[in-house]
Amino acid sequence: MKKFAVAALAVASVASLAACGNDSSSEREDGVVRIGLVGPETGAAPQFYTDLVRPVELAVADLADEYGLEVEIVTVDDKGTPDGASAAVQQLLNTEDVDAIFGPPQSGNALQVADVIQRSGRPWLSAALAPEIMDESLDPNWLFRTNYNASDLSSVVAQYLFSGDSTVGIVHSADAYGQSGAESIEAEAEELGAEIAAVEAIQPGTTDFSAGISRLAAAGVDTVFLAITAGADTATVTKAIAQEGLAADRVVTNATILADFATLADPEQWENLVFIDPRDLTGDTVAGIAADYEAEYGEAPIIPTNVYSWMAAVDTYLQAVAEVGDARDFDGVREAMEGLEQVSVRDDVYEKPFGAGDHEIYEPEDPSQWIVFGFDGEGALEARGDLASCIADGC
């Protein structure tokens, strides 16, 4: 009898340990789909949290009924740090027992939690740009990216930066995102056999960057690439460009500029400023999303590109859950996402976006698939043309 009790205890222990590991389903059966959102509610870049939570709320409100699902959103603050991201993801997995994780939006923090989420065996949707997050050799791979990746962006940005007889300088944030962006462009330059004349870093929150711009001017820079996390820091840099009289033909940045930049900067600061994105940010779909966002939250989207990416993530995930019929069947949901016929963001439709070995929603490598955006005299976004035309004829 004693032997039987010990054996039973051992079996129970093994079973409970197994439940802690990678299990493709578990016991919660309330029928509610629990989506865990992790982002920097506090810290240096809270706009990434705001424009994670709000678009997910809007998209769930739009799509839950359509797919016949009851959805609950759980949010956790990662404080904008890798340590905070680890703690937040543990909370989502172990305490909140969510069915899928959306975020963290910042690349460094996403990299920090990549192993943990992959081991948890739950669908993971990300809009972070770092190419290192996506390891397509994993089987199964739980990560689905609904944004472009930084590697593709760097490739096309480099083609634009080094077109013509330009002398290129880089300013990057002294953080993981900025350093990664600068290194990507440096690698692309090496591949193209081009040289970068100067590289300067800016600490987030710096009060004055005139010295950094003066060094770019001394190096003869006429084309500047900005890999900066916050629009407020971009405003500090462009202010210094105006102040130091740096004659830059082009100042190329990325979509993070949409966070706060136009609010803080003056017209002379955005004159030659452009960024490149594969989506039509001046089209009807983005305008419709912005109108609904503003009606709901009383202000315009802070980072429209992230809003778009997270809405694509919600459609991807909820479609798959609806198809499988059970959010707790994690394997089934992952396979359903791989097999989706299309993913939509309002009227924009992406056909067969994913596959068994392809978890990136889009990987545009052809410059004609990217659009160059700038600002008009009022600070409103305007499309300047596709990148191929801009490289060939200027724009």
Interface with another protein (CB under 8 A) = 42-44, 46-47, 50, 174, 200-203, 205-212, 214-215, 232, 235-236, 239, 242-245, 259-260, 263-264, 266, 268, 302
Cis status of the peptide bond prior to 140, with omega within 30 of 0: yes
Nearer to another protein by Cβ, of 49 and 148: the residue is 49
CB of 240 to another protein, least distance (A): 9
Q: Which amino acid is at 7?
A: A
CB of 205 to another protein, least distance (A): 5
CB of 44 to another protein, least distance (A): 8
For 257-386, where are the alpha helices, taking DSSP H only? Answer: 261-264, 284-297, 304-324, 330-338
- State whether residue 281 is helix, strand or coil: coil
Nearer to another protein by Cβ, of 116 and 201: the residue is 201
CB of 255 to another protein, least distance (A): 16
d(CA 7, CA 1): 10
Half-sphere exposure of 253 (CA within 13 A, CB side): 30
CB of 174 to another protein, least distance (A): 6
In 3D space, the residue among 37, 19, 29 whose CA is nearest the CA of residue 121 turns out to be 19
Pairing of strands 381-386, 196-202: unpaired
For 242-277, b/e burial (b = at least 16 CB within 10 A) is eebebebebbbbbbbbbbbbbeebeeebbebbbbbb
Nearer to another protein by Cβ, of 202 and 276: the residue is 202
Nearer to another protein by Cβ, of 51 and 315: the residue is 51
Nearer to another protein by Cβ, of 179 and 389: the residue is 179
Nearer to another protein by Cβ, of 13 and 42: the residue is 42
39 near 77, Cβ under 8 Å? Answer: yes
CB of 105 to another protein, least distance (A): 14
